[in-house]
Amino acid sequence: MARQRISSGSSFEAVAGYSRAVVDGDTVYVAGTTGFDYATMRIGEDPLEQCHQCFRNIAAALAEAGCTLDEVVRVRYYLADVRLFERLAPVFGQYFARARPAATAIVCGLVDPRMKLEIEVTARRSSPEQ
């Protein structure tokens, strides 16, 4: 089965030479995804708004790969400030109430000071497309 690359259309992907997601067999790897709205290339200031946009972006990539957030098996949260975890954890739980993936939260600097968080996931498709 050939590898499938998925793009969001973000200019970041072309500049840095990566794909929003890569499908390899029944595994879907979604790159670290921020709260940018790729249609407008804008990012809100509010961390909650960014978090919901991250999940919209991830869900769109997963849908193009033929799966959903419920099939995520691994998630990594990259937070610009440790104090964000308490505020955002309930949102993480909202999106992953069914999947309950293995999770790691990392506090680190992000490449753009407007970014408050970045989320990376790995999913396993229930029924790979042929």
Q: Domains in the chain, please, with CATH?
A: 4-124 (3.30.1330.40)
Which of 92, 99, 52, 97 lies closest to 72 in space, CA to CA?
99
Pair type for strands 42-43 and 4-6: unpaired
User: What's the whole-model pTM score?
Assistant: 0.92
CB-based burial, 91-118: b 16+ in 10 Å, e otherwise: bbeebbeebebeeebeeeeeeeeebbbb
Task: Answer whether residue 130 shows pLDDT above 50.
Answer: no
CA torsion sign for 69, 74, 76, 77 is: positive
Confidence grade of residue 1 (pLDDT, cut at 50, 70, 90):
low
5-55, pLDDT tens digit by residue? 888 877 777 788 888 899 999 999 999 999 999 888 899 999 999 999 999
User: Which residues sit opposite 6 in a β-bridge?
Assistant: 21
What is the number of other CB atoms lying within 10 angstroms of the CB of residue 125? 17
Confidence grade of residue 127 (pLDDT, cut at 50, 70, 90):
low
